[in-house]
Structure 1
Amino acid sequence: MGAIGDLFGWIATPLYYAISGILLVWQKAFAYVIPSEGWQWALAIVGLTVTIRALLIPLFVKQINSSRNMQLLQPKVKELQKKYGHDREKLANETMKLYKDSGTNPFASCLPLLLQMPIFFVLFRLLSHASKGDGKGFLSDEAAHEFANSTWLGSLLSDQFTTADHISTQILTGFLVVAMIATTFLTQRQLMSKNMPADAMTGQYAQQQKLLLYVLPVVFAVGGIAFPVGTILYWTSSNLWTMGQQFYVIRNNPAPGTPAFDAKQERDREKRKKKGLTDAEIDIAEANEAAAEKRPATRTQPKNQTRSQRKKAGTSAGRSTTQKNGGTK
């Protein structure tokens, strides 16, 4: 436990400063317009969520692209399963080769969640220490005490469902936990119902998605009642951000062969009709888009060459061109 504790402390120390700094900036900003300290700190937690999720947008884009490619590759994965189903090692190697050739990282979809977990637990520890008047990072002892003991909707931000003395705290934490579970379920359900092709609804990837659909809400329900109001507020806000962000991406950049893709095609067709395009021109445009979206782009790695090799290749190419053209005049 000593080594694990030291590792967590090494990771958590910079996070204490980063999270407490962001919280203080948002709290000071809201203090100019909101007199209630409870609302200042509660909205500061929402501001922390917005800041963290905005910083994670590049990773979210990679996550969406990876999930999209995973869906598009499912027919090929099934072919590999039929071909190498008797040899698990060969199947695993060929599947990873397929992902590598298409530039798909099957673990990219976990990155945003994994990166948020340390932030979530550091915020939990920050609130736990603050409830005892112990400041961390940029939070002084006085500011930490104010943060933990600020009343928001009748509850302290450091209160928990399991240790609450007031029914108002249990009602608030219960509502936030239900909201956290609902947003988690709806986000995953939105992905499966609108942005997964029919041929991707079976197989290992689909089973993983279905497992997450029902397991994650249960995990949050069990764990949520043990977390302070402030951390549940952070996680619920993060879930709302994820749901909205995913809705935008699915609506504007859906995977081919999905209900969301069909809906987007219909919207695009209506827009083109309004622009005065003929049915034939619309069909051509849709065919071009379908061809571009047919499969994930593969990456071709350039060969490493020395400068002399590149110069020699360029000279050879020039001579070949001259010979084809019949020589210089």
Structure 2
Amino acid sequence: MFQAIVNFMKGIFDSLHDFIVSMGISDVGLSYVLAIFIFTLIIRILILPFNIKAAKSSQGMQKIQPEVKKLQAKYKDDPQKLNTETMRLYKENNVSVAGGCLPSLLPLPILMALYWVFMGIQGIEGASFLWIHDLFAPDKYYILPVLAALSTYIPSYLMSKSTPSQPGGMNMGSMNLVMAGMMGVMSLNFKSILVLYWIIGNLIQTIQTYFLNYRPAMREMDDKTQKDAVAESDKFVVAVEESKNSASKKRKKK
């Protein structure tokens, strides 16, 4: 089954590369980089519906945070009951905790399949790009592994900032760092073209996460802050008026 997936992806990648070469791109390295860019773009477009669904779930979670906080206060001494009631609240509001993780997990099986696709390409000479002397060998300057780690961390960071923390949940900050570190270390031994696929995909994911998750969440928080400020201002005005009325009544009594 896995070999069939590898063969399928190899056929797509080879077709993309042949198409680019037929367009007059004679530079071997550039033709492969363009092929991986188009391939990555296709993959990201295909999983875009999952990103949109995850974004809606995240926004729904943001809206029910006041209710979640009430449950946390009510069942602070009963973690099991808190978890049950929280899950019930999520279900009633059609919110999925796992939904936000799916888009980040989907590219991993593709990465594994592409590893074997590129392992099968032999005899490529002169496939260089920018500082990379051989696209089908690890980056000896370690620039790509660093970029792989950074590009893995940034969209995860934006996602964690736009997703409210869950009661009893994992520390997402630490998890993001561990994931980014793992990808950086793994990229030390990966072929450069495979690492380029990961970096390009993460850059696209960062743009999607910013516009689908982070920006709406920040706008929602700004709106809430403004509403709270208005509410506090109204309370202050009411308190001042009550103080004036009270003082006026005391003077009349005198």
- The 2-side partners of 1:100 and 1:201 are apart by 17
Contact 1:180 1:235 in 2 (8 A): yes
Rate the CA distance shift 1:117–1:64 in 2: closer, same or farther, 3 A.
same
SS in 2 for 1:152: coil
- The 2-side partners of 1:106 and 1:80 are apart by 17
SS in 2 for 1:170: coil
Rate the CA distance shift 1:112–1:157 in 2: closer, same or farther, 3 A.
same
Alpha-carbon shift at residue 213 of structure 1 (Å): 3.6
Alpha-carbon shift at residue 66 of structure 1 (Å): 1.6
Instruction: Identify which of 103, 108, 118 aligns with 2:109.
Output: 118
1:159 aligns with 2:121: no
RMSD: 2.7
Instruction: Identify which of 196, 200, 207 aligns with 1:237.
Output: 200
Letter in 2 for 1:115: L
- The 2-side partners of 1:97 and 1:60 are apart by 24
Rate the CA distance shift 1:150–1:110 in 2: closer, same or farther, 3 A.
farther
Alpha-carbon shift at residue 45 of structure 1 (Å): 1.2
In structure 1, the partner of 2:140 is 170
Instruction: Identify which of 8, 11, 29 aligns with 1:18.
Output: 8
Alpha-carbon shift at residue 21 of structure 1 (Å): 2.4
In structure 2, the partner of 1:209 is 172
- The 1-side partners of 2:78 and 2:167 are apart by 17
Rate the CA distance shift 1:21–1:241 in 2: closer, same or farther, 3 A.
same
Rate the CA distance shift 1:211–1:252 in 2: closer, same or farther, 3 A.
closer
Contact 1:42 1:152 in 2 (8 A): no
1:187 aligns with 2:155: yes
Contact 2:72 2:167 in 1 (8 A): no
- The 2-side partners of 1:113 and 1:186 are apart by 12
Alpha-carbon shift at residue 110 of structure 1 (Å): 1.5
Rate the CA distance shift 1:203–1:247 in 2: closer, same or farther, 3 A.
same
Deviations 1:108-153 (A, max 9, x none): 111122221110011112222x1xxxxxxxxxxxxx325x656122
Structure 1 residue runs of 5 or longer lacking an equivalent are 1-9, 131-143, 161-168, 266-329
- The 2-side partners of 1:252 and 1:219 are apart by 28
Contact 2:7 2:117 in 1 (8 A): no
Instruction: Identify which of 12, 20, 24 aligns with 1:33.
Output: 24
Alpha-carbon shift at residue 64 of structure 1 (Å): 1.1
- The 2-side partners of 1:152 and 1:111 are apart by 34
Instruction: Identify which of 148, 164, 183 aligns with 1:220.
Output: 183
- The 1-side partners of 2:14 and 2:220 are apart by 47
Letter in 2 for 1:170: K
- The 1-side partners of 2:11 and 2:221 are apart by 43
Q: Percent identity?
A: 25
Aligned residues: 222
User: RCO higher in 1 or 2 (8 Å CA, sep ≥ 6)?
Assistant: 2
Letter in 1 for 2:172: Q
